[in-house]
Amino acid sequence: RLHIQESSSRMSFSPFALKNLRLKNRFVRSATAEGMCPNGFVEDQLVAFYENLAQGHLGLIITSHTAVSLRGLAHIHGQMRIDSDDTIPGLHRLVEACHKHETPILLQLAHAGPAAENPLTLFPDYMTPDDFTRLREEFVQGARRAQEAGFDGIELHAAHGYLFSQILSGCGNHRTDGYGGSVEKRASFVCEVMRGIRAQVGPEYPIVCKINAEDFKEGGNTIGDTFTILTMLQEAGLDAVELSGGFQRLEVVSRLAINPARPSPDHPEGYHGPYAAELRRLGLRIPMMVVGGIRSREKADELVESGAADLVSISRALVCEPHFVAQIEADPKKTAKCVSNAKMG
């Protein structure tokens, strides 16, 4: 890790080292679905989209959730895939588009689980030993393909009620074997995946995990549970965490009850910052990215200067204004057009 002390007005634009990656500033484009891959393969429209993002002076880009298998697709039409070696050439084009502008890019590996459109998807309570073995290998092979495509690292999607999130949470995992019960048992499978990926990609390749600070749902994970999970994941090979929140659970077939990724309807800007600060207080020492309605340079500087966040993740503001980071570097008083509502307006 790189620690550079600068005046608070410049903290969010100070460089940072994530493992072997040198980031020019602390701003991260958080994974955001684009829906531009009609058959799951990268096409020209998506390459142009990522090149435009890379021109906006971001420190790091994380791709949209990329399915490790067909049954793990959240969106049958439009979601990017990494379930075969045939996807590697197209994915490499995204890397080239970002590296052309000296912007590193991570690929987010995901399996939607109960949130998937495929009726043959996986549910934690009904997974067999063979299901766990196959799923572990799908993620390991996804990581291999990402590395071969030239991505600078990977992120595991373990938030928002997707499959890993369901396995980790008491809301979605009611198993009574070694993969269910206590938070340590619920975390054991994702730790197995982490160790498998680390063995595959080597010791220097950055691995990040996106995880809920809390599920904000009765029976779900609390900040204390998340600290336990992250401590275990760090021991298994995790390099950094992106902190989000909220949980979705399948109530009836193909219909979701969704808790937004925020603690309350009247959320303030940077609403996951206090949870990051609590994880620091509890003793978490790996780098943290914090996402959550961040719409100003002032809030980004505050999060970094306080020590709660090492990196500041932005999603919806970049949907409205792909060059938002470059704009607030030029004009520190500018705020995002996005007001972080459901319409991303």
Divide the 345 residues of the chain into consecutive groups of 10 and give the mean pLDDT of each group.
Answer: 42 95 97 94 98 98 97 89 98 98 98 86 94 98 98 97 95 96 98 98 98 91 97 98 80 40 65 95 96 94 95 95 96 88 46
pTM of the prediction?
0.92
Rounded distance between C-alpha atoms, residue 215 and residue 96, angstroms: 36
CA dihedral for 174, 176, 177, 180, sign (positive or negative) = positive
Angstrom CA distances, 111 to 26, 118, 130, 212, stand at: 28, 11, 16, 16
pLDDT of residue 117: 83
Q: Are strands 240-244 and 248-252 parallel, antiparallel or unpaired?
A: unpaired
What H or E segment, with its residue span, contains residue 28? Answer: strand 27-29
pLDDT of residue 179: 98
pLDDT of residue 342: 52
